[in-house]
Amino acid sequence: MLHTYKVLALIIYRDERKLVTTNMVRAKDKKDAKKQIEKKYYKLPETSEVIIYEETDIIQLV
């Protein structure tokens, strides 16, 4: 069963710029939601690191 999650992510670019973003994603659990967001932002060629803390940055919506 898929649930809706709100994910807060910190994206760090190679030129040391930082971007904080929130995303809505449908996933089966928190780990899957985290993987989806990481996959989305690692596709960008300028991305150096994506930071998401599973315990605090991923919220399941009802």
**Structure confidence by residue, pLDDT tens digits, 18-40:** 999 999 999 999 999 999 999 99
Confidence of residue 9 (pLDDT cuts 50, 70, 90): very high
Convert the pLDDT of each residue in 40-62 to its tens digit.
999 999 999 999 999 999 999 99
Please count the residues of the chain.
Answer: 62
CA separation for the pair 48, 58 (Å, rounded): 21
* Residues 57, 53: Cα–Cα separation, whole Å: 5
Structure pTM? 0.90
